[in-house]
Amino acid sequence: MDQRAAAQDSKGVLSVNDFCQWAGIGRTAVYAEMKAGRLSARKFGRRTIIPQVEAERWLASLPMQRNS
């Protein structure tokens, strides 16, 4: 685990950019997920932060890939 990942685990929240890197998706997709209500975020001043538990809940809610 690198230093940045350790810091994210210890603080319990991700910035939008950190979430994008963690999830492997772009900022537009993150904001679309928030708007659709599938991803919960909080505001801290001007910053948008995503609690780690919400990030993991979002990931668990995604459908499993089916091999056909």
Helix (H, G, I), strand (E, B) or coil at 49: strand
**What is the pLDDT at residue 4?**
58
Q: What is the pTM of this model?
A: 0.78
- What does the block give as tokens for 15? 């910035």
**What is the pLDDT at residue 67?**
82
38-61 burial: b if 16+ Cβ within 10 Å, else e:
ebebeeeeeebbbebebbeebeee
In 3D space, the residue among 36, 11, 31 whose CA is nearest the CA of residue 20 turns out to be 31
DSSP, res 64: P
CATH of 3-61, one of 1.10.238, 1.10.8, 1.10.10, 1.25.40: 1.10.10
Instruction: Write down the domain spans for the chain.
Output: 3-61
Q: Which residues of the chain have pLDDT under 70?
A: 1-11, 68
